[in-house]
Structure 1
């Protein structure tokens, strides 16, 4: 969407509050209260997924909410800890430090600062197009693979078993072999919370099923003295408020984090763009994707300064704000204030929350992000792109997760290149009784013109297809009986010509001339392709008066001459 990145006049900060009116306040407060009820258990569970204590998830939510409200544009978008990126960076950080240690947290803070800086740079340099790097099949496969990682990582907590180390499939095998040792209480709690959250979601997304499930599970633990029966709980949650600090890590470790930071930033860009386009502040105006990159980047910078990890836009939470009457980012700020109050005055309420309940919440999140209907649709409509879904998911499941994500991005780029450049040579015929030249086909009544060959390529002409284009054109010329005297290249689909392709065209023009075949170009509409003809000196071998606005003009002007 080209208009996504149009410059906007307005406030330098808190632009999402520019249209705030006192009448918006009741709706924003209700939306903020609902958002807090959804976010509290989700942020705790996401922090646990990344190997952090629950309050770090609260820090991330407050940082993301404040940063986006200050610098973002979308009125509804909720930014905070996110289960999509958490498994990715947790896997990368685990290679450098042990989860739960001060070193691990310092690395997470540094990563958040790097991701934030990349996001801010992406906004300043208008890099919103990066959000289009992942095709839909690759995105669907990516989410399916992440879902499997979350499911497997939480099974041990739900079963009450020790979490095994190793690749995802190995962990799954170990847990399956030890299923008979599962703690029945933790299993009931985990599956019960999963069922409760799913049921509430089915009735209405506004019902805070996760919060209800955590409260019910905590009451059950206390009333039934389940800690003595092997049910693990969150334990003491420090009520200390976050204070700004910089991570204390060596310079070479910043360098090691850079590749992971780029990977995380690309995923955040993709999800932020998808979220802001799905929940437009104004249905009559395009999303300001670049400004929202700035908001999400500011959220990660603040998170890094206050001891947390990278944050991301959340489509489900953003939908909650939109559906419950939110009108501005006051809703997100109010939710952050509620979380801050809980952390300051009610942290002791969280110490008996069972780990299995948080696992149940994450099991629901994992199942929700699998887009089963979309996978089925891709399978029915495009089997080759379904294979992209499978390949991406398999890479993320089998390989270390950050490598799997990199493979997914590479597959998406390769798919885009292949789709863009796979065009084969098309032969045109003159439609009987008209001056129109059209691609040959069963339903096209053609006017016989044996002395003229018209061909075209419906793709950019580049090093990827230049050689085949050159040889295919010569085959058409040599296979025609009698040999055509005029060759017209219909170039409306050629939007770009690179150096390799220009050399192939130069050779083609020369070989046709030496063979007594006149060459003409028709409908060279792309300004980039026109510039390429000038830049690469193609007019030195193809006269300028052999370039026409239509195939008919070329045939009319040169057909008799040839």
Structure 2
């Protein structure tokens, strides 16, 4: 979905990009630090992720407003992988494992770009993605609640964490809870009353100031603590971990690219070129590869920060350069102040922005349109929570592919009638009881692709109709059929022989040039000849009425 061109402050493109970059930085920097905590990493990793990958994307990316750092989905997937591969690792080891994971994610994306696999982003259907993201949102909220409540326990599965939270409610820290609830209230009020204000920056700055002035640490409120200042140090990945990390890296790479291309397309202005999928693979992949050597976690395009960037007036990728520069200033000058930030504030920030992943209206809309796809969304939702986030990706992909296979295996076969007084043939339904039917003629339309998976299913739908109407001619309208595979053609040849032996003539109409040429080269073409193949359905009906001296069209039988 394209968006309208954003206004530019002062009428000058460069000034608009500077304002947009600084405004986006006010959102990106606090959220990046919060997302690092989701992954179980030091918060400075979030700053590194908002710096290097963003600059690399500026050089290679094709979307003008896209703001690149990390996202809630990527963060929770990263955290799940790190806890699986390196449970209980000290911060130094964790950084090495993260660097290796980030490098592998980037390498996978770069290789996918070289192989031109941009279409893979379409492998997860929208209903499944809705369920997957909602599940991620619930998992993140449950993961952050202990920090909001001041509870401490060993993390485990989703069900385990929920149970521990419920058991610990009698021992929560009221001061910590007050800080978290207060942060949520500030964020919510600003978003509603002053949506143009940088709510995350205001909430974080207020919490840091209060913690320093009021000595919150003395009241049992956990603070972030020491944050290293300066540029990130060179980090060398450990390729010996590749065998353990590659399944998770594949899942994170898929989600990174899916989110990046979706956000880039969503915020494309009408005058801007559409983001190129394979180039986006290269840009995000190179950003991850470079970021790996500077302590960054896996990255991709972020929805909320890109929305802020666009609304604030971004017209070019210069706005992202400004955001990266603001991140550098934070690393060099503000690290001591960041150390005063309460963990409850970060948790509240994560929870508020993770709730946006859970949209019951999306589930309702899917259910209203198609119940089957609603069940797919629920399967992905439950898969994330019950099987874990990385396995949840697998569930999402499998559900999407099963859905695709189910649709392909059940081809549409429509019984047609003619709209009275026109040459329009359409499916006969109770809504059109006056549509014309033709005694002796059975008009059927096949749609989609007919191949070995669904040929027999199409035959199963056609046989009862022949038995019900006892036609002299079965006319297959193939105008909606874009491909006829050899196995399906063989089945059609056998069906033509059986029906001809039973006194029923098969007739084809509306064949596209490829299907027509294929039929002519087969025994079916020899059996039918041009006599029983027509340019369109109207010509077939006119000819068959005349040849068989059928009566004037009558009302369709009930």
TM over 0.5: yes
Matches within 5 A, 1:375-394: 375-394=363-382
Aligned pair in 2 of structure 1 residues 519, 236: CA closer, same or farther (>3 Å)? same
Aligned pair in 2 of structure 1 residues 536, 297: CA closer, same or farther (>3 Å)? farther
1:340 is paired with a residue of what secondary structure? helix
Q: Separation in 1 of the partners of 2:440 and 2:281?
A: 57
Q: Separation in 1 of the partners of 2:101 and 2:523?
A: 49
Correspondence for 2:66 among 72, 77, 90: 77
Aligned to 1:345: 333
Q: Separation in 2 of the partners of 1:111 and 1:295?
A: 17
Aligned to 2:555: none
Matched, 1:485 2:472: yes
Matched, 1:512 2:499: yes
Matches within 5 A, 1:48-447: 48-98=37-87, 100-250=90-240, 253-283=241-271, 285-432=273-420, 436-442=424-430, 443-447=432-436
Q: Separation in 2 of the partners of 1:319 and 1:64?
A: 18
Aligned to 1:554: 540
1:452 Cα offset (Å): 2.0
Aligned pair in 2 of structure 1 residues 484, 337: CA closer, same or farther (>3 Å)? same
Aligned pair in 2 of structure 1 residues 387, 246: CA closer, same or farther (>3 Å)? same
Correspondence for 2:17 among 23, 28, 39: 28
Q: Separation in 1 of the partners of 2:530 and 2:93?
A: 67
Aligned pair in 2 of structure 1 residues 139, 451: CA closer, same or farther (>3 Å)? same
1:331 Cα offset (Å): 1.3
Instruction: Give yes or no for contact 2:85–2:245 (8 Å, CA) kept in 1.
Output: no
Instruction: Give yes or no for contact 1:79–1:299 (8 Å, CA) kept in 2.
Output: no
Q: Separation in 2 of the partners of 1:175 and 1:476?
A: 60
Residues 104-132 of structure 1, C-alpha deviations (whole Å, 9 max, x = no match)? 33332222222223323444444333222
1:352 is paired with a residue of what secondary structure? coil
Instruction: Give yes or no for contact 1:74–1:281 (8 Å, CA) kept in 2.
Output: no
TM-score (norm 2): 0.89
Instruction: Give yes or no for contact 2:380–2:396 (8 Å, CA) kept in 1.
Output: yes
1:221 Cα offset (Å): 2.2
Structure 2 residues not aligned, in runs of 5+? 3-9, 549-558
TM-score (norm 1): 0.89
Q: Separation in 2 of the partners of 1:149 and 1:179?
A: 18
Q: Separation in 1 of the partners of 2:335 and 2:28?
A: 15
Q: Separation in 2 of the partners of 1:379 and 1:550?
A: 37
Alignment length (residue pairs): 539
Q: Separation in 2 of the partners of 1:288 and 1:108?
A: 28
Instruction: Give yes or no for contact 1:499–1:536 (8 Å, CA) kept in 2.
Output: no
1:526 Cα offset (Å): 7.2
Q: Separation in 1 of the partners of 2:121 and 2:479?
A: 28
Instruction: Give yes or no for contact 1:128–1:289 (8 Å, CA) kept in 2.
Output: yes
Aligned to 1:9: none
Instruction: Give yes or no for contact 2:450–2:488 (8 Å, CA) kept in 1.
Output: yes
1:525 Cα offset (Å): 2.8
Aligned pair in 2 of structure 1 residues 436, 137: CA closer, same or farther (>3 Å)? closer
Matches within 5 A, 1:451-462: 451-462=440-451
Aligned pair in 2 of structure 1 residues 159, 463: CA closer, same or farther (>3 Å)? same
Aligned pair in 2 of structure 1 residues 85, 538: CA closer, same or farther (>3 Å)? farther
